[in-house]
Amino acid sequence: MSTDVTTPGELTSFGVATLFIDGKWEAADTGATFDVTDPATGTIIGQASDAGGAETDRAIAAASDAWPAWARETAYRRAEVLRAAHDLMVERAEDLAHLMTSEQGKPLRAARNEVRYAADFLAWFAEEAKRVYGQTIPSNRSSHRFTVLKQPVGVVAGITPWNYPMSMITRKVAPAVAAGCTIVLKPAEQTPLCAAAVFKVFEDAGFPPGVANLVTTQRPEQVGDRLLDDARVRKLTFTGSTEVGTVLAGRAAATMKRVSLELGGHAPMIVFDDADPEHAAKGVSLVKFLNAGQACISPNRIYVQRGIVERFLEVLTDRTAALEAGPGHQANVGIGPLIDQASLEKVQRQIDDAVGRGARLLVGGRRLTDNGLDRGYFFAPTVLADVDESMVIYREETFGPLAAVIAFDTEDEVIAKANDTQYGLASYVYTRDLGRAVRVSEALRFGIVGVNDINPTGAQAPFGGRGSSGLGREGGAEGIDEYLDVKLVGLAL
């Protein structure tokens, strides 16, 4: 790490007070903490407060008390604090990126990109706050009027994962706060310091006490139970696995909370033989190994039309072999560690299963342990060819650096195969045929389609899935609607 950059410890100089409740930093009531480790080295980089039910109750009470006044603020005032948070985040970008690399493992360049993406949500929703328009509807009675108002839903519970530890927070907090809601956020236990650093930005930007509250914990059920059972919480916004999201949504139904869920994915990538196989292979290598494959929109099934599959594999294999794995602070590192031991085991299990059923291992295929990498959770970027439906990887999300390639023959066949999944988040198509691009993007049953595009995301665009990938949209004009109730006012003159 360069010497002019603040260390994670300095940046998050909270001691062990990583709970932010009613505008104050607090330790857990019991003083309990948990260690935060760097997945590249196993080094402990800090501690976080281990909150339980009592602290969660206080955070909900703070959010509930702050809500009426925040809801009454003008949209212009709400926009002001969000804009200030954006500017501060940009100002602190370098420190935030270094912290993220230490805590989550992604290469510094990717961490810088994520900080920018996280800040984008603050700027976008600062503007959207001012565009919460209602409606007037012509009535069927002359002495009568209909007006539609959009009003904040109230207290929101947000739960976020570790793989994008800052942007997943701003993608929820920014629209909630813009809409006039208040929020209690529980981040993943692997990345509480990134969460605390983002909340420090909110504090310094002038968020009023109680508007945004942070509860770090390694006891997610205890905190989750309180958030879900409390009737004052009117909305759950969750990003994480389909398994956990399904349970939480079921529980939220008991108090009839609004729910948005951003869950797992199993993205198909389709490369037609009218596309340039070298360009497509380059694209696949970039998007597949981004964040070491730990992304919900990572391609999990890469379908390549038979005529170009061998050339495609050649280029993909060369590019994959050239990727340098290592701690994200080192120059030239293109791929960081996985988050934990269980993730290493899952990737290895999928490879062993596939190879046992006839897949060809072209590169990678094992944990990396040379040159000190055994201290972290590094897995060699891997390419498998001849993957088929009998293999676990064909249905199970990988969340690791493993590219699974499947040959196909016709357009109809590949559309049917791509849609044959319970998931429906991202999908990708490479083709130079305009008609085919339109046909295929309309036929894919996914929330997002990238056509010759490996990054179909942005704060200004609606992100989300269907089926087991979730409900609702984050970002875009749709993102703020998730935090607004519709009220109809009928007026008899």
474 is catalytic: no
- Which residue among 132, 159, 335, 471 contacts ligand NAP (CB under 6 A)? 159
Please name the residue that has the structure tokens 């903490």: 33
* Residue span 289-328 as binding mask against ligand NAP, x where in contact by CB under 6 A, dash where not: -------x--------------------------------
368 binds ligand NAP (CB under 6 A): no
* Stretch near ligand NAP under the rule CB under 6 A, chosen from 9-17, 117-125, 257-265, 454-462: 257-265
Q: Is the Cβ of residue 9 or residue 220 nearer to ligand NAP in the bound state?
A: 220
Q: Is the Cβ of residue 386 or residue 474 nearer to ligand NAP in the bound state?
A: 474
Distances (CA, A) of 282 to 290, 304, 386, 430: 12, 14, 19, 12
Count of chain residues binding ligand NAP (CB under 6 A): 30
Distance CA 451, CA 461 (A): 15
Report which secondary-structure segment, H or E, holds 485: strand 484-492
* Stretch near ligand NAP under the rule CB under 6 A, chosen from 131-139, 217-225, 374-382, 433-441: 217-225
Exposed/middle/buried for residue 254 (C-beta within 10 Å: 0-12, 13-18, 19+): exposed
263 binds ligand NAP (CB under 6 A): yes
Residues 72, 193: contact at Cβ < 8 Å? Answer: no
Q: What is the CA radius of gyration of the chain?
A: 23
Distance CA 120, CA 174 (A): 10
Please list the residues that pair with 258 across neighbouring strands.
235
Distance CA 144, CA 142 (A): 5
57 binds ligand NAP (CB under 6 A): no
* Stretch near ligand NAP under the rule CB under 6 A, chosen from 60-68, 112-120, 193-201, 213-221: 213-221
φ, ψ for residue 213 (rounded to 5)? -125, 145
Q: Is the Cβ of residue 265 or residue 268 nearer to ligand NAP in the bound state?
A: 265
Tokens of 175: 């629209």
- Which residue among 221, 370, 412, 442 contacts ligand NAP (CB under 6 A)? 221
195 binds ligand NAP (CB under 6 A): no
Alpha helices in 240-305 (DSSP H): 242-252, 277-288
* Stretch near ligand NAP under the rule CB under 6 A, chosen from 67-75, 90-98, 236-244, 356-364: 236-244
Q: Is the Cβ of residue 305 or residue 468 nearer to ligand NAP in the bound state?
A: 468
26 binds ligand NAP (CB under 6 A): no
210 binds ligand NAP (CB under 6 A): no
Tokens of 287: 């998007």
224 binds ligand NAP (CB under 6 A): yes
State how beta strands 182-186 and 212-214 pair: parallel
189 binds ligand NAP (CB under 6 A): yes
Measured from the Cβ of residue 351, the count of other Cβ atoms closer than 10 Å reads 25
Q: How far is the CB of 251 from ligand NAP (least distance, A)?
A: 8
- Which residue among 25, 67, 121, 162 contacts ligand NAP (CB under 6 A)? 162
Q: Identify the DSSP state of 90.
A: H
462 binds ligand NAP (CB under 6 A): no
Nearest CA to 210 out of 249, 266, 154, 132 is that of: 154
Residues 308, 277: contact at Cβ < 8 Å? Answer: yes
Residues 376, 41: contact at Cβ < 8 Å? Answer: yes
Q: Is the Cβ of residue 262 or residue 386 nearer to ligand NAP in the bound state?
A: 262
Dihedral of CA atoms 14, 20, 26, 29 in degrees, nearest 10, equals -130
List 26, 262, 397, 482, catalytic entry: 262
386 binds ligand NAP (CB under 6 A): no
296 is catalytic: yes
Q: Which residues are catalytic?
A: 262, 296
The binding site for ligand NAP (CB under 6 A) comprises 159-164, 168, 186-189, 218, 220-221, 224, 239-241, 244, 248, 262-265, 296, 397, 399, 425, 465, 470
